[in-house]
Every structure is written in C-alpha cells, then in structure tokens.
Amino acid sequence: MSHAAGHVFNPTILREYDIRGIVGETLTAADAHVLGQAYATMLRAAGGRKVCVGFDGRLSSPELARALADGLKRSGIEVLWIGRGPTPMMYFAVYHLATDGGLQVTGSHNPPSHNGFKMMLGKKPLYGAQIQELGQLAAEGGFTDGQGVIREAPLLDAYVDRLVQDFRPGRPLSVVWDAGNGATGEALGALTARLPGRHKLLFADIDGRFPNHHPDPTVAANLADLIAAVRGEGADLGIAFDGDGDRIGAVDGRGRIMFGDQLMQILAADVLARHPGAPILADVKTSQALFDEIERLGGRAVMGKTGHSLMKTAMVEFGAPLAGEMSGHIFYADGFYGYDDALYVAIRLLGILGQDDLSLAERRNRMAPMVNTPELRFDCPDEQKFAVIDRVKAGLAAEGAAVNAIDGVRVTTADGWWLLRASNTQAVLVARAEARDQAGLERLKQQISAKLRAAGVEPPQL
C-alpha cells in the first residue's frame, strides 16, 4: 500500500452509470490519474491485472486517457491501449483481448467541454455503488503500488472484422449514415467500405467540437441533416449514432424518425424466429406496441428499468438474447456479447432488411398505430425527485390504480399508459404517455398533471 494523500473528486462527477464532468472545472487530468489508481486498487483486490483503455474523439480525451493509463500503470496494471473509437469498441476489447476490465474516456453525447469515463469490471458494467466506492478509495488514498506497463494494442481492424462477421448479405441497400463527428466515424468508414450497397456518410470525420450538429440522435433537430439526405438520395433508410456509438437513431425512407422501441419490433421478430419463446427486455419508457408484438411473436416481454448498466445486468438475469431502450441503447446477446453497440445493431438491421423486399417504411406502417409523446423531461431538484415519485406512488396505491413500479410508476388505464420516473443521472423527472387516439392521450396527460399537483409539484406544460 502506498501512503499517498487522498484526492477528493468533485462529488458531481460520480454519477449512477459513469463518471462525467466539465473538463478543467469539475474534471481534470489529475482526477483521471487518481481514477486509474483507484480503479487499479479495486481491480487488483478482485484478482485482476490487465485492462484496456480507449477514448472518444473529444479534444480532451487523449490527455485524460494518458493520465488514466499512467495511474493504472503506477498501481501495477498492464494497460492495453486500444486507441480512439466508440465505447463499444472498448467493450469488445474486454472480450477479444481477454482483459480483466476496461475503461473508456468519453463524454458520450454531451457538449464538447464535457468528458468522463465508462467502465467495466470483469465483463460487467461498473456502476452505482461501485462508482461511489471508487470515490472513497480516491479520498482515502491507500492505493496499491506496482510496476505496470502500457502496451499499444490498436483494435479498430479487429473490431470492424467482428462487426462484418455478423452481416447477413441480401438485397443491396442505399443507406445514409450520420456519425455526427463522433467517435464512430473511423470505424464507420472502414465498415461501410466492406458492405454491399450504396453508402453515403455524413460527418464521419471525428471532430470533438461537433461543428455540424450535436451527436445525440434522440433529439429530432439533430436528425435534420440525415432526414434531408435520405430524402435527397432516395435512400432506403438513414442511421445515426450518438457521440460514443452506444446509441442508434434511425429514419425510414420517407424521412420519419424511428425510436429505439420501434426498431426493436423489427429486431425482436428476427431474434425470436431463432429463439422461440425467449424473453426480450425493454425499458419502462417503451411503447406498449413493442411488448404486444413480442407476445404476439410468442416471446416473453419483460419490462426493465431504464439505464444502460441496469439493462445489461437484467439481460443476464433473465437470459434475454435482446434488450432495448427507447433512447437507442440496444443490446444483443444473440450471437454477440450482450452490450450496447450501435454499429453492430445497424449491421443486424441491414441484414434483416436485405432479406426481403419490405422497406423500413413499410415495416413501420405495419406497426400498431399509437399516439404517444416523446420522452418529456422537466426539472426537479435531486433531493426531491424520488420523494415526488414516492408520493405519486402512494396516491395511486390508495386509489387502486394498475401500476408497474419497477422504475417510477407506469400506470395502465383504459386509454393506454403513462409513466413518471425520476432520472438517475439528472435533476429531472421523466414522463411519457401513449394512447390509441389523441383524445385518450390528452386524458393521460391530464392525469400526469393532476398526480404531480397532488404530490406538490407544479406540472409543466405537457
């Protein structure tokens, strides 16, 4: 044990699923170095010695990754430096290079001034209490010492090979891709060069300033360029990635946005054809149309908590070959490793679409028509948000409502369903509602407002 002085992280950076802060303000290279030592101490206590380190395309990422690797090395870890790429390339490295864990420097879809770390310990996501534990280890400063090493282990080629391996050839498609100048750009160029069909790439040059649009495909405005290009090219579909490539966005050939829970209807049908009766997992924000479709196809629909680390954990628990969130985190265990790789999801989607003449737009038209809101987010202080949900829950219990309380409250009524939950990552409450028609949706929104008011919160305009 060394007796280095403790180092206190800014408490705001230790979050539920990752470590994330504003570079130079709440997050520095010194933090990254200490994180390396703290992670190494935790890993060595668990018997591990070897990890991979990757980083995204942000301007601050190489420096933070270097400081992180130095911290790991100083605590006796063998570091495999896999280089710049999407977060799922780091996940892949943990399996392909048989490391005991992995760390990715990434700010995901957040503004250019932000950055952070996503971590695996063994083959599991490191999150929740373990992230707090890293903070305590850092504060105590009793890091394990040792003589580690940093080795170059560039992985991009092997990663792209692995993606291509599961491509199912079929009808050649015309696809527009939008990497949003995020970390997927280089891998995407190499990947599409090896696929049949016609591929137009938007913003595939990695640029941490995100000069074109923000790399977050859940925000409709960020898909405007993709929609215009799909229409302009007469393409079959468009695919977009978030900044670190663990979330997918898509638009059909008519330029209509398709959310994760809609794509999941197509992906689930394919997986269930090979795994009849299998459980398929989707988060609480998911359209009822997906759960109904899974059951119709003979699968077992399982509703899970929102949050990529929670989904990965639940997937193992239920033995689900496929899981997905409305946000575009989609996880394949069928033929893959059970984590969220948006490029891999794209490969599987194209493979499915190529098998027959049915376009993505036609598939979408066949889905049960639902009238729903997007994900509605509104501010609520961190110290109040869970108490608000508890009060809403108590009120619903008193009136005997049909509530699924796995993550907030998801209430089923004659009109459809509505959801109210506290975000684990931000000081916000999240709402969504879905009905068969507009009048029903309005009634559900009124219910959300009424329940919030009864819980002492002035409801936003829904």
Residues annotated as catalytic are 108
Unique residue bearing structure tokens 């009864």: 454
**Shortest spacing between CB 241 and Zn ion, in angstroms:** 8
Q: What is the DSSP string of 234-276?
A: T-SEEEEE-TTSS-EEEEETT--EE-HHHHHHHHHHHHHHHST
Burial class for 387, CB neighbours closer than 10 Å (0-12, 13-18, 19+): middle
Q: Cβ 211 to Zn ion, closest distance in Å?
A: 19
- Listed ranges 104-112, 139-147, 413-421, 435-443: which one lies at the site for Zn ion (CB under 5 A): 104-112
Q: Which is nearer to Zn ion, 100 or 341 (CB)?
A: 341
Q: 3-state class of 177 per DSSP?
A: strand
Site for Zn ion in 6-65 (CB under 5 A): none
- Measured between alpha carbons, how far is residue 243 from residues 90, 163, 346 in Å? 14, 19, 15
Q: How far is CA 164 from the centre of its chain?
A: 21
Least distance CB 363 / Zn ion (angstroms): 26
Q: Which H or E run includes 362? A: helix 360-366
Using the minimum distance from each CB to Zn ion, give the nearer residue, 329 or 385: 329
The span from the CA of 269 to the CA of 285, in Å, is 20
Of all residues in the shown chain, the one whose CB is closest to Zn ion is 108
Residue 157 Cβ vs Zn ion, minimum distance, rounded to whole Å: 23
Q: Cα–Cα distances in Å, from 36 out to 128, 173, 317, 406?
A: 18, 44, 30, 34
N- to C-terminal Cα separation, the chain: 55
Task: Count Cβ atoms within 10 A of the Cβ of residue 404 and give its class: 0-12 exposed, 13-18 middle, 19 or more buried.
Answer: middle
- Looking at beta carbons only, is 186 or 242 nearer to Zn ion? 242
In whole angstroms, what separates CA 370 from the centre of its chain? Answer: 24
The binder of Zn ion chosen from 75, 99, 108, 262 (CB under 5 A): 108
Shortest Å, Cβ 22 to Zn ion? 17
Q: State CA 221 to chain mean position distance.
A: 19
The angle at the Cα of 393, spanning 388 to 394, to the nearest 5 degrees, equals 100
| Binding piece for Zn ion, criterion CB under 5 A, among 101-109, 169-177, 309-317, 453-461 | 101-109
Question: Is 137 or 430 the residue whose CB approaches Zn ion more closely?
Answer: 430
Q: Quick one: residue 402, left, alpha or beta (phi over 0 = left, psi -120 to 50 = alpha)?
A: beta
**Touching Zn ion, residues 221-250 (CB under 5 A):** 242, 244, 246
Shortest separation between residue 392's beta carbon and Zn ion, angstroms: 29
How many residues of this chain bind Zn ion (CB under 5 A)? Answer: 4
CB of 87 to Zn ion, least distance (A): 6
How far, rounded to the nearest angstrom, does the alpha carbon of residue 447 sit from its chain's CA centroid? Answer: 30
For tokens 């997937």, what's the residue? 315
Q: Cβ closer to Zn ion: 21 or 141?
A: 21
Measured from the CB atom, the residue of 242 and 341 that comes closer to Zn ion is 242
Between 76 and 86, CB nearer to Zn ion: 86
Q: Binders of Zn ion among 141-180, rule CB under 5 A? A: none
Stretch that binds Zn ion, among 75-83, 108-116, 363-371, 409-417 (CB under 5 A): 108-116
Q: Which amino acid is at 145?
A: D
Strand partners of residue 205: none
Residue 184 is a binding residue for Zn ion (CB under 5 A)? no
Binding residues for Zn ion, rule: CB under 5 A, are 108, 242, 244, 246
